[in-house]
Amino acid sequence: MQTVELIQEARRQAEICNACRYCEGYCSVFPAMHAGRAFSDGDITQLANLCHNCRGCYYACQYTAPHEFELNLPKALAEVRRDSWEAYAWPQPLARRFHTHGGAIALALALGFALIFWALRALGGSGEGFYAALSHNAMVAIFLPAFLLPLVSLGVGMARYWRAVDGEPIRLAHLKRAFGMAAKMKNLAAGHGDGCNFEDEDRFSHARRYAHQAVMYGFLLCFASTSVGTVLHYAFDMPAPYPLWSLPKLLGVPGGVLLTAGCIWMAALKLRADRTLDDEGAFGGSIAFILLLGFVALTGLALYALGSSTVMPALLAVHLGAVLTFFLLTPFSKMAHGFYRLLALIRDAQRT
């Protein structure tokens, strides 16, 4: 169950915004909000997951504090958004713990798993490169369940979300519109297209949009690299390591660079931004996720550069520990927001 007080406060603010309508063209939130007169709990959850926390509406609003209405819609929706991820996550207690103690949880798991992988190297491996330190079969036995179980967890949470927002049967047109919005990150450009005010009240910028795109496309390139490597290994009997001009490397190296740079950029922007316009209780978990994802990418690039050196076994243990932590925490970290936001965009496409 979602927290009643958070839903009620967001509903109060949405009703005032719906009466004012000054911010109608700012992003997808306001056309969706203005389509109705009353807001169910599911409506508020949907609006919260459409919101990208660009803050333009807050800086344009005449009803923020010290006005008696004390509107802070970005914060109210951010709190509902995080609460929805926690309420729909499975198993739920892990989600609530991560958002409040994310840094400690991620660090403890990454270090613990790294020590386990370092100990496993004593068993040895067969093959070249990384497989000499840890066999391919051992990696598959560890990482296949670690990849599939979070997908099941995410599937449960997304199904719960879809029921809560009264989602309809999905059509190709809905997917096309939603994926188009996600690919361009159009809502981070705001309605006027000049960018958002995330960094500074008086300055529009596309920095946050570009940082998000670097992370998203970097991650997709890395995922594509891993997928291609899997196909080469099993379908063509071409195991790693692969040379620089191979497809896995042509996808993975640029992806790793984009992902590392994007995470550093996002963390810097988040540290400079005004925390009172966001969900302050989830700040630690959000930063922990960004740094963990960036660390996965950075250690992956380091492995490629130092894969033939004596530090490779230790570096491999650290990298695999970070990757395993990332996989297991995906349904409970801010990584889940991408899946929920895509569902919100699909539901919004059904409305329009």
- Does residue 11 carry a pLDDT above 60? yes
Reported as a pLDDT band with limits 50, 70 and 90, residue 240 is confident
Cis amide linkage into residue 91, ω under 30° from 0: yes
Residue 87 contacts by C-beta under 8 Å, 6 or more apart in sequence?
A: 1, 2, 3, 160
Instruction: Compute, in degrees rounded to 10, the torsion defined by CA atoms 162, 12, 187, 94.
Output: -50
Backbone angles phi, psi at 230, to 5 degrees: -65, -45
Greatest mean pLDDT among 22-26, 89-93, 153-157, 190-194: 153-157
Please give the pLDDT value at position 255.
96
Nearest to 252 by CA among 278, 219, 275: 219
Question: Which pLDDT score is estimated for 322?
Answer: 93
Condensed to tens digits (0 to 9), the pLDDT of residues 196-236 reads: 777 666 677 888 889 999 999 999 999 999 999 889 888 88
What DSSP state is assigned to residue 198? E
pLDDT tens-place string over residues 138-160: 777 888 888 898 999 999 999 99
* CATH 1.20.950 residue window(s) in the chain: 90-351
pLDDT surpassing 90 at residue 344: yes
pLDDT of 166 over the 90 cut: yes
Within 8 A by CB and 6+ apart from 213, the residues are 185, 262
Q: What are phi and psi of 203, to 5 degrees?
A: -135, 125
CATH number for 90-351: choose from 1.10.150, 3.40.50, 1.10.3470, 1.20.950: 1.20.950
DSSP state of 39: -
Computed over every residue of the chain, the mean pLDDT equals 86
**pLDDT score, position 342:** 93
Q: Give the tokens for residue 88.
A: 């729909």
Closest by CA position to 147, among listed 230, 56, 250 = 230
* Range with the poorest average pLDDT among 16-25, 45-54, 173-182, 185-194: 185-194
Q: How confident is the model at residue 343 (pLDDT cuts 50, 70, 90)?
A: very high
- pTM value? 0.88
Ramachandran area for residue 190 (φ above 0: left; ψ -120 to 50: alpha; else beta): left
The least confident of 17-26, 79-88, 185-194, 271-280 is: 185-194
**Highest mean pLDDT out of 91-100, 263-272, 325-334:** 263-272
pLDDT, tens digit, 9 for 90 and up, residues 92-135: 766 666 666 767 888 888 889 888 888 776 665 555 556 666 67
Under a CB-based contact definition with an 8 Å cutoff, are residues 127 and 136 in contact? yes
Q: Which tokens in the block code for residue 224?
A: 């594509």
**Structure token pair of residue 293:** 């994802």
**CA distance to 27, 80, 85, 97, 152, per residue, from 91 (Å):** 33, 19, 11, 11, 11
Residue 38 CA to its chain's centroid (Å):
30
Q: What percent of the chain has pLDDT over 70?
A: 89
Q: What is the pLDDT of residue 23?
A: 83
Low-confidence winner among 74-78, 212-216, 239-243 (lowest mean pLDDT)? 239-243
Nearest-angstrom CA–CA distance, 338 and 213? 12
Q: How far apart are CA 102 and CA 315, in angstroms?
A: 23
Q: Which helix (H) or strand (E) element contains residue 200? A: strand 196-200
The closest alpha carbon to 192, from 16, 60, 309, belongs to: 60
Quote the pLDDT of residue 284: 83
- For residue 68, is pLDDT > 90? yes
Tell me how far apart the alpha carbons of residues 15 and 39 are, in angstroms, rounded to a whole number: 8
Quote the CA–CA distance of 96 and 86 in Å, as a whole number: 6
Q: Looking at residue 131, what is its pLDDT?
A: 64
Provide φ and ψ at 200, rounded to 5°: -150, 135
